[in-house]
Amino acid sequence: MGLMEKFFGLSWGIHPKDHKRPAADAVTRIMPAPERLYVSLAQHLGAPALPSVLVGQRVKKGDLLANPQGSVSAAIHAPTSGVVAAIGEIPAPHPSGLPVLAVTLAADGLDEWSEALEATPDPFALAPDEISRRVAAAGVVGMGGATFPSALKLASSRKAGVTTLIMNGGECEPYLSCDDRLMRDEADAIIDGIRLMLYATGASAAIVGIENNKPEAIAAMQAAAQAYSEVSVRSIPARYPMGSEKQLVQTLTGKEIPAGSLPAEVGVVVHNVGTAKAVRAAARYGQPLVSRLLTVNGGAVKHPGNIVVPIGALVEDVLAFAGGFSATPGRLVMGGPMMGMSLPHARVPVVKGSSGILALAGAELADREEGACIRCGSCVRACPMGLLPLEMARHIQGDDLKGAVKLGLKDCIACGCCAYVCQSHIPLVQYFAYAKGTLAAEDRAKLHADATKKLALARGERLAQEAREKAEVAARRKAEREAAKLAEAAAKTATAATVKTVETEGAPA
Amino acid sequence: MSAADYTDYQAARAFASPHAHGGGEVRRTMFLVLTALVPATLFGFWLYGWPAFFLWLMTLISVLLFEFMSLRLMGQKNAGRALGDGSALLTGWLLAMTLPPWSPWWVGVLGAFIAIVIGKQVFGGLGQNVFNPAMVARVALLISFPLQLTAWVTPLPLTPLTAPGFIESLHITLGQTPVPDAITSASLLGYAKTELSRGIELAQALTTSHAPQLSWLGARAGSLGESSALLILAGGIFLLITGVIRGYAPLGVLAGALIPAFIAHSIAPESYLDARSHLLSGALMLGAFFIATDYVTSPTTGAGQLVFGLGVGLMTWIIRTLGGYPEGVAFAILLMNALTPIIDRVIKPRILGRTWSGRPIVSADAGKEA
Amino acid sequence: MSELLLLLISTALVNNVVLIKFLGLCPIMGVSRSLDSAIGMGMATTFVLTLAAAASWMLEHWLLMSLGLGFLRILTFILAIASVVQFTEMFIKKTSPGLYQSLGIYLPLITTNCAVLGVALLNVQQGYGLFWSIAYAFGSAVGFTLVLMIFAGLRERIALVKVPAAFSGAPIAFITISLLALAFMGFSGLNIQEQ
Amino acid sequence: MLVAISSLTILGAAFGLILGIAGRFLAVEADANVAEIEALMPGTNCGQCGFPGCSGAAAAIAAGEAALTCCAPGGKAVAVALAEKLGVSLDLSGVANEGPKVAGVAEDLCIGCCRCIKSCPTDAILGAPKQIHNVLKEACTGCAACVEHCPTEALLLHPVPVTLPHWVMPRPAAAF
């Protein structure tokens, strides 16, 4: 940091203490499947998957458990071989601890792969859309944490004519090192995956951006990418939130993504390096996404490190495998400390988007009572989006959510920089999450009200119609009755006449 | 602990991210600002003797007292802890530094009341006030008691025998002994103003033997903290280096006051003081580094702070040169405090992906797809 | 030209109609909840003040003085002011319904804004010519608008602040404006003409 | 005296004339915002406000005869929207904001009388005579019209259950 930068505070973002080592340097461990696995049906962005197995059914590792449902969704596969023990609700890996639908698998311990995997010796011989189809069949989602179905992103990038593929190796979150570890261990596989993604999207070049606090990963990736001119590996300054899509694209390409648009607007698409590996496994070997590398770290963890964990393993099993606690944790977090979710307890499953499990000791949390804002402006300087967090929070505190939206609440990426630097310990992100959630609920209520308004209108029309019909029927009846009466009267007169005639006729007789 | 102890973990509620904190504390910030004030204050004690120390002590004690009482009145349970954030202490300290050092005790107490109760607590306490409390008190005192608030004394360091002793100083602070005329002295700004109004040109007025002198170190008539420009500057640089303040507001204040002073002096040296006199007189340096940088009452963006500082500097120069008061920093700060909400509303950072007016930017590549 | 500028500065800042003369406090308190409506109110008042000053000058010099009806001064001035306000109200209602709604009752109440009558009467007192009367009125109106805007900005901020219950609402507004008046006293004795 | 009276009269007449002419040019037709207000109402005509349907309530609100908070199913949201539309400040302290509710049928109490079905403004209740009725949660507005019509108190309002995608981060409990 230069003197001018220090005196005038010119840069966005923050430089948190990264806590990445020694976990990043520990050898990767592989966790065997525990006895029971709880595979959530909603572990991707979009609609939950629809189960395609029955309770009691025997499945092998990689067999389909649930089909995607709707336009944005992803398939889910068995992480090991065993028997489907239940399909029901389990606590979700989410701060609320609310239930989520899941397939419970009793592992048989054999860990047998399914025979139905479609392997291809040369995936580059396939059509690009076929690669997307295989990625979709393998249930690959974004491994950075956003969990957007990757196949959809590949296909839509191709349609949008994306020219540059940005590979996110930033891993700017403190504590996490799974991407770092993956790049060190499997650089060749990642580069192969990147080339497959280039092929599938039709982009001409890929840039891998890696923060300069991971020199080993940069070296490994550069060595692996040497043979391919279309893939370049770039070192970027370590700064949080460098791994955020908008910030990464701007740093690597100088292009600014317009608000409310996808990166495709400026001709780029961003994928995580972990996704590249999953894409390769899907395209080359037909292997679905059934396990992932994640970081177990935090002050309360005895042996921090990176572990390959089957999807659906309980956090408590993972922590036990990692070696347990060295102290009672103050908080369990899934993901990084800046944007990760606090867990209500350890009996929640690992999902495809879990990049880390942190057991933070009380001292690391620095929890304090919220104080009054002293308008120091640290949050304004830290905000990577150029927002005014203090003003937004002030409006939300005063129940003026619309005022907060006017200040740019919808542009907030919830990176947590503002709350991290806040001297008064104001939970700014919580204010924004509360406001966004409340506004979304209001929008839903409005949609609901519009729908019910239509129903009420339809009912009104129907009642009017019924009344009209009733009136018509009544009128018709009346008319008929009158007609009948008339006819009767006419008949009477006629008979009378006839009688008369008869009488008259008969009289002479 | 064994691996099985994870079951002990029980989260009481949903915690929002982030789960880490940078470690910044209001208390630490306030402590750093107080530290930065120490050298200038100690020098002031040496320069003006015991009365200055008594006034300073009186102000600080009453500030803490009023803050404590206000917090209790507002139903704050742990008022003692809230007191520990140091904000009231800083307000009192800054106020004491702008008062004439030999003022009677009630000046300090009344100032503390105005600063804490009217300037800060009625708005809701820390962070809620719109005007700088110390400057509110300073201006209110100046308007109410112009005589006491302009009774500057020539420096009488503790060491020489002519300086008042401990007991004698107590009498001065308690207001029982009036400050002898022989040792009162006008500040340079006041002197220049008086002489100009008498029709005497500056060049002539400033060369006479009884004209107040200037020095960077601050051996001149003035208030506790205003005297030593050098030590105040050192404190300011300390705050810049520790990252407590940023350079925008101080730069703005100095530029806003010195540029017009320099221009006016170049054009008509007989009626306008030079930039150096402005820099080393009165509270300009203190205002630039310690008061214009007050978080609560100044804009939050860098550009806003620059505008704020320029406004303070310019107003100071205008009031000093053209106004009825010899010193204008306090008024200038209050005036710009009043404009701060408007500055904050007009000057905002640009949101990433949006134009300055808030519409999404149009990307250069957008046309290509069509 | 410079004289005109000095008159404007002196009326707008040094002898500010609100903070130094304490005229027109009713709209200052009433329409300062949001900056946008404050700007609208400021503009409306500027229009009324300037026009009313011109009209009252004409009435004073061409009617009252020539007929010796000085005792009718206040009555006629109020008549002129009321008419101008009525016209302004119609105009705003036509051109900017939103502003009309946000100003509400305070728009017709410009009639009773003592700053308007006060400035017209001060003009007579000081014996300005027509042009200077208008300049004086305009300067006062600018001062009024300035204070209204500053005060609205401050109140927008205070609205989001946890003011103790005893002080919330009008009390804190009065305290704030008193502190603002304190700040404006810095301009007192601003001796521009002489230098 | 005469001069004074006549000059004031003439003056008044002159100003009146000017204003009259101006009034002709600047005339504004009174805006009919009843329709706009009605657009903000839930539109289910449940009648809980005591007016004949939402249009009646909208007319009453426009005329200033009804409180902005009169709409029970709309709750706080509608009151705030109305206040914004009409540009008035609103005292929300009297509005109970318990969150959205839906009706539910207690199956052991329902006798299948069909009275609730007829009362529902959005056709959200399904059922046939002598059959246990059921509420379509998606169509229910929580207006409570059916609750009054149920002879066995089988219909009750329940808060809408919170689900994972609809969970909202709670507001921080400000400590200061």
Mean pLDDT score, A410-422: 94
A96/D167 Cβ within 8 A? yes
Interface touch C182/B143, C-beta < 8 Å: yes
Place of tokens 């205002």: B287
Q: Does C167 contact B331 at a Cβ distance shorter than 8 Å?
A: no
Cβ pairs bridging B and D (under 8 Å): 6
Q: Which two tokens stand for residue B170?
A: 């107590």
- Across the range A254-272, mean pLDDT stands at 92
H helix intervals, B198-295: 202-207, 229-241, 248-267, 275-280, 284-286
Cβ pair D97, D76 in contact under 8 A: yes
Measure the CA dihedral A250/A255/A256/A258, to 10°.
-140
What pLDDT sits at residue B168? 72
Q: Does A395 touch chain C (CB under 8 A)?
A: yes
- Provide the pLDDT for residue C20: 85
Query: B1 and A325 in contact by Cβ < 8 A?
Result: yes
Q: Which long-range contacts (CB under 8 A, 24 or more apart) does A154-159 make?
A: A154/A197, A154/A200, A154/A201, A154/A279, A155/A129, A156/A264, A157/A201, A157/A202, A157/A203, A157/A264, A157/A269, A158/A128, A158/A129, A158/A132, A158/A200, A158/A201, A158/A202
Considering only the C-alpha atoms of chain D, give the largest distance between any 2 of them, rounded to a whole number of Å. 92
Chains touching B, CB cut-off 8 Å, 3+ pairs? A, C, D
Determine whether the interchain pair B14/D172 forms a contact, defined as Cβ–Cβ distance below 8 Å.
Answer: no
| Residues in chain B closer than 8 A to A93 (CB atoms) | none
What is the average pLDDT score of chain B? 83
Does residue A482 lie within any of the structural domains? Answer: yes
Helix, strand and coil percent figures for chain A, each rounded to 5: 40, 20, 40
Between B13 and D21, residue with greater pLDDT: D21
Res A131 pLDDT > 60: yes
The residue ranges of DSSP E strands in A354-495, in sequence order, are 356-360
Look at B323 and C153 and tell me if their CB atoms are within 8 Å.
Answer: no
pLDDT greater than 80 at residue D26: no
Distance from CA of D118 to the nearest CA of A (A): 10
Contact B130 C167 (CB under 8 A): no
- Report which listed range, A2-6, A45-49, B201-205, D21-25, is most confident: A45-49
User: What residue ranges do the domains of chain D occupy?
Assistant: 34-94, 101-162
Q: Which chain B positions have a beta carbon within 8 Å of C190's beta carbon?
A: 318-319, 322-324
Q: Is D44 within 8 Å of chain A by CB?
A: yes
Is residue C165 less than 8 Å (CB to CB) from chain A? no
Average pLDDT, chain D: 80
D68-73: average pLDDT: 78
In the prediction, which pLDDT does D93 show? 60
Residue-wise pLDDT tens digits, A291-319: 999 999 999 999 999 999 999 999 999 99
Query: For residue B125, which residues of chain D lie inside 8 Å, CB to CB?
Result: 176
Q: Is the pLDDT of residue B7 over 60?
A: no
List the one residue out of C129, C177, C141 whose CA is nearest residue C52.
C141
CATH topology assigned to domain D101-162? Alpha-Beta Plaits (3.30.70)
Residues D7, C94: C-beta atoms closer than 8 Å: no
Report how many Cβ contacts below 8 Å link chain A to chain C: 7
A298 touches chain B (CB under 8 A): no
**Would an 8 Å CB–CB cutoff place C159 in contact with chain A?**
yes
For residue B291, give how far its alpha carbon lies from the nearest alpha carbon of chain A (Å).
13
Contact A395 C159 (CB under 8 A): no
Two tokens at A35? Answer: 């006895």
pLDDT tens, position by position, C18-44: 888 888 888 888 888 888 888 888 988
CB contact A98 to B (< 8 Å): no
* Start-to-end C-alpha separation, chain A: 138
pLDDT beyond 70 at B194: yes
Which residue is associated with the tokens 């051996």? Answer: B219
**Does a structural domain hold residue A313?**
no
B110-144 pLDDT, tens digit each: 999 999 999 999 998 888 999 999 999 999 999 99
Q: How confident is the model at residue A201 (pLDDT cuts 50, 70, 90)?
A: very high
Inter-chain residue contact A329 with B15, CB threshold 8 Å: no
Question: Which of the two residues, B55 and B168, has the higher pLDDT score?
Answer: B55
CB within 8 Å of chain C, chain B residues 245-284: 271
Pick the range with the lowest mean pLDDT from A224-238, A334-348, B17-31, B190-204. B190-204
CB–CB contact B14 D169 (8 Å): yes
Scanning every residue of chain D, which has its alpha carbon at the shortest distance from the alpha carbon of B127?
Answer: D176
- C162 contacts D8? CB cut-off 8 A: no
Per-residue confidence at C72, pLDDT binned at 50, 70, 90? confident
> B18 pLDDT band (50/70/90 cuts)?
very high
Q: What is the nearest CA distance from A438 to chain D, expressed in angstroms?
A: 7
Chain C residues with CB under 8 Å of D19 CB are 83, 86-87, 90
Number of compact structural domains in chain A: 1
Domain hosting A424: range is: 373-509
Q: Residue type for D141, please?
A: T
CA dihedral A274, A278, A280, A286 (to 10 degrees): 170
Of A133-137, B28-32, C20-24, the one with minimum mean pLDDT is C20-24
Tell me: the pLDDT tens digits for A455-479? Answer: 888 888 888 999 999 999 999 888 8
Chains touching A by CB (3 or more pairs below 8 Å): B, C, D
Instruction: Give the minimum alpha-carbon distance from D176 to chain A in angstroms, rounded to a whole number.
Output: 6
Residues of chain D with Cβ-Cβ distance to B17 below 8 Å are none
Percent of chain B residues topping a pLDDT of 90: 45
Amino acid at A19: H
Yes or no: domain D34-94 corresponds to CATH 1.10.15.40: yes
* A374 has a chain B CB within 8 A of its CB: yes
Which chains does chain C touch, 3 or more C-beta pairs < 8 A?
A: A, B, D
**Closest residue of C to A404, CA-based?**
C160
Place of tokens 């619309």: A402
Amino acid at D75: G
Confidence of residue C193 (pLDDT cuts 50, 70, 90): very low
Least confident of B20-24, B136-140, D55-59: D55-59
Distance from CA of C21 to the nearest CA of D (A): 30
More confident residue, B157 or A488: A488
pLDDT at site B209: 59
Chain D: which residues have CB within 8 Å of chain C? 3-4, 7-8, 11-12, 15, 18-19, 22-23, 26-28, 31, 87, 176
Phi then psi dihedrals of residue B251, to 5 deg: -60, -45
Q: What is the pLDDT of residue B185?
A: 64
Which of the pair, C148 or C11, is modelled with greater confidence? C148
Which residues of chain D make contact with A433, given a CB cutoff of 8 A? Answer: 168-169
The pTM (predicted TM-score) of the whole model is 0.88
- Per-residue tokens: A481: 């009755």
- Do residues B108 and B55 touch, judged by C-beta distance below 8 A? yes
Kindly state the average pLDDT of the residues C172-176.
93
Peptide bond into A174 cis (omega under 30): no
Per-residue pLDDT tens over the stretch B296-338: 999 999 999 999 999 999 999 999 888 888 888 999 999 999 9
Kindly tell me if the per-residue pLDDT of B261 is higher than 50: yes
Q: Has residue A76 been placed in a domain?
A: no
**B24, A422 in Cβ contact below 8 A?**
yes
pLDDT digits (tens, 9 = 90+) for B135-161: 999 999 999 998 888 777 776 554 454
Q: pLDDT-based confidence at B10, cuts 50/70/90?
A: low
For residue A250, the chain B residues in CB contact (below 8 A) are 352
Task: Provide the token pair at A313.
Answer: 């393993």
Please report the ipTM that was assigned to this predicted complex: 0.86
Considering the domain boundaries, does residue A128 fall inside one?
no
